[in-house]
Amino acid sequence: MEYDVIIIGAGITGSSIARQLCRYQLRVALLEKEADVSFGVSKSNSGIVHAGFHEKPGSLKGKLCARGNLLYEQYSQELNFPFRRSGILMVAMNDEQVQQIEAFYFQGVKNHVPYLQLISGERALEMEPNLTPDIREAIYAPTGGIVEPYEMIFAIVENAQKNGLELFTNTPVEAIEPVGGGLRVLSGSKEFTARFVVNAAGLYADMISQLAGAEEFTITPRKGEELLLDKRVGSIVKSVIFPVPTKTSKGILVIPTVEGTLMIGPTAVEIDDKEDRATTTAGMEQILEQVRQMVAGIQLKDIITQFVGLRPTIKGDDFYIARSQKVPTLIQVAGIQSPGLTAAPAIAEMVKDLLLKAGVQLVEDPDYDPYRPRKKKIRQLDLTELDALIEENPAYGSVVCRCEKVSEAEIVHAIRQGHTTIDAIKFATRTGMGRCQGGFCTYRVMEILRRETGMAFEQITKRGGQSYLVQGALSANIQEE
């Protein structure tokens, strides 16, 4: 299979690059080793659209964060994914931290962060009454925001496919070799060739670079545990609450979500294993202890679930985005940790410019359509709208997930778009994301999957690979029912 550009990695960065390139008359392929898009680094992202005051002036992170932030309105309006400018507060609780946040404020001014304010602790408490009274001073950045990263990625890829993108999931790259002025990419029995390859492989970008014979660098996973809290406390804050950052991370945060839940975390521990997603009691206790210093009212009973994300860190304090000097047909996009989600739309523009400079002809496609229709979600409809929708399709009246109010029709739509694992359906529809964490609806989702795809129960996985949900006698008993 021959392409103009192959992108390796279907997280927020690779997906955004793919959509950007689909504006032009190019053959573009997106390769992902997991069972679905967003299943790597991006699925556990905190979903924060950063304002830009954390980043050093003059850095790639600073430049691309600022530009990416500005592009979010356009992206969300074109692609119809939820995005809200919730604002960001960085709070100081002692004299030393007051000095530190004042330095971050002036850094934000240098980065031209709009509407940035340095406010008193009293003003911060007026804005967020559930902050603890220890708050002395704060930075307020109203341009900060929140998104659901997986929903955003699904929207980006769906639109890119509409505009000609060819997506290959379950396609781990095993070899890369030069061929005829381009590169050949091998994955099992699949063979792809392209004039240019973009390495957006997240935690495995170092391995992809090595396979291509390009620059040597090391991606070190930085493990972050997070806690998801019940909607009962979802409105305890309106803004994202940051502490003063540490040398290794932006700290443990309090994060409202666009769907009304609350996240707290993440921790930051450098590890060796790129597949270590084990949660720990120590991580949970650390998160609770630190967020309670900033926000009152968060209790152990409010926790719905705990999960882990791995950031792909690289030596130095900046993104690595460049045309390879050793393999000129390879574009390196590595070390994309925070603020990578914010920067992704701007990274896509930068990669497009690198390809143009490398000689790729970018002829605009007259048929390019940047828009994705709004999804029908019964939890967002009033009774009149819901009655009309059920009249049109009775499956909208069958509620599968009671916690999140997700209908059978929404699940069927996700499956027919190619999302055929339990996690993919969860990310596409929010089925199983509520208080019971799928305790009541998982079996019903499996029934719908079996009906729609013909898969047997024992073939259904949580997230692809060997993550089967049932086997043996249990499976046989279910089949008999």
Give the per-residue pLDDT at 362. 98
Q: Look up residue 318 and give its DSSP letter.
A: S
| CB atoms closer than 10 angstroms to residue 464 | 18
Q: What does the pLDDT average to over 273-302? A: 96
- Give the span between the Cα atoms of 442 and 135, in whole angstroms: 43
Catalytic residue positions, numbered: 50
* pLDDT classification of 471: cutoffs 50, 70, 90: confident
- Give the span between the Cα atoms of 224 and 169, in whole angstroms: 26
Q: Is 134 helix (H, G, I), strand (E, B) or coil?
A: coil
Q: Is the pLDDT of residue 62 over 90?
A: yes
Evaluate whether 324 touches 217 at the Cβ level (below 8 Å). no
Give the per-residue pLDDT at 317. 87
Reported as half-sphere exposure (CB side, CA atoms, 13 A), residue 335 has a value of 16
Give the per-residue pLDDT at 472. 74
Q: Is 110 helix (H, G, I), strand (E, B) or coil?
A: helix
Residue 156 makes CB contacts below 8 A (sequence gap 6+) with 12, 15, 16, 18, 19, 75, 79
The tens digit of pLDDT for each residue in 175-229 reads 999 999 999 999 999 999 999 999 999 999 999 999 999 999 999 999 999 999 9
Q: What does the pLDDT average to over 40-56? A: 96
269 beta partners: 223
Checking 357-366 for CB contacts under 8 A at 24+ apart, the result is 357/323, 358/196, 358/323, 358/328, 358/331, 360/4, 360/5, 360/26, 360/195, 360/196, 362/24, 362/26, 363/24, 363/25, 364/23, 364/24, 364/25, 365/22, 365/23, 365/24, 365/25, 365/163, 365/164
Domains of the chain, start order: 88-141 (no CATH), 378-480 (1.10.10.1100)
Q: Is the pLDDT of residue 95 over 90?
A: yes
Give the per-residue pLDDT at 288. 97
Give the per-residue pLDDT at 480. 52
Give the per-residue pLDDT at 9. 99
The tens digit of pLDDT for each residue in 113-142 reads 999 999 999 999 999 999 999 999 999 999
Q: Is the pLDDT of residue 250 over 80?
A: yes
Nearest to 148 by CA among 47, 256, 44, 79: 47
Q: Look up residue 24 and give its DSSP letter.
A: B
User: Side chain identity at 420, as an amino acid letter?
Assistant: T
The tens digit of pLDDT for each residue in 152-176 reads 999 999 999 999 999 999 999 999 9
Q: Is the pLDDT of residue 392 over 90?
A: yes
Q: Is the pLDDT of residue 280 over 60?
A: yes
Bond before 339 cis per omega within 30 degrees: yes
* pLDDT classification of 360: cutoffs 50, 70, 90: very high
Evaluate whether 139 touches 117 at the Cβ level (below 8 Å). yes
Residue 399 makes CB contacts below 8 A (sequence gap 6+) with 378, 405, 406, 407, 408
Give the per-residue pLDDT at 481. 52
Q: What does the pLDDT average to over 43-51? A: 96
Q: Which helix (H) or strand (E) holds 167?
A: strand 166-168
Q: Per-residue DSSP letters for 277-289? A: ----HHHHHHHHH
Q: Is the pLDDT of residue 43 over 80?
A: yes
CA trace torsion 150, 151, 156, 162 (10° rounding): 120
Q: Is the pLDDT of residue 455 over 60?
A: yes
* pLDDT classification of 251: cutoffs 50, 70, 90: very high
Residue 96 makes CB contacts below 8 A (sequence gap 6+) with none
Bond before 149 cis per omega within 30 degrees: no
Give the per-residue pLDDT at 19. 99
Lowest mean pLDDT among 14-18, 22-26, 164-168, 433-437: 433-437
Q: What percent of the chain has pLDDT over 90?
A: 96
On average, the pLDDT of the chain sits at: 96
Q: Look up residue 390 and give its DSSP letter.
A: H
The more confidently predicted of residues 481 and 385 is 385
How long is the chain? 481
Give the per-residue pLDDT at 60. 97
Q: Is the pLDDT of residue 473 over 90?
A: no
* pLDDT classification of 246: cutoffs 50, 70, 90: confident
- CA distances to 65, 150, 181, 277 from 423, in Å: 29, 11, 40, 15
Q: Is the pLDDT of residue 477 over 60?
A: no
- Give the span between the Cα atoms of 417 and 21, in whole angstroms: 22
Give the per-residue pLDDT at 247. 78
* pLDDT classification of 20: cutoffs 50, 70, 90: very high
- Give the span between the Cα atoms of 169 and 454, in whole angstroms: 19
Q: Is the pLDDT of residue 324 over 80?
A: yes
Q: Is the dihedral of CA 268, 269, 272, 276 positive or negative?
A: negative
Evaluate whether 287 touches 215 at the Cβ level (below 8 Å). no
pTM equals: 0.96
Nearest to 256 by CA among 244, 247, 264: 264
Q: Is 22 helix (H, G, I), strand (E, B) or coil?
A: coil
Give the per-residue pLDDT at 249. 81
Nearest to 459 by CA among 415, 421, 408, 418: 421
Q: What does the pLDDT average to over 64-83? A: 98
- Give the span between the Cα atoms of 379 and 396, in whole angstroms: 11
Q: Is the pLDDT of residue 265 over 80?
A: yes
Give the per-residue pLDDT at 144. 98
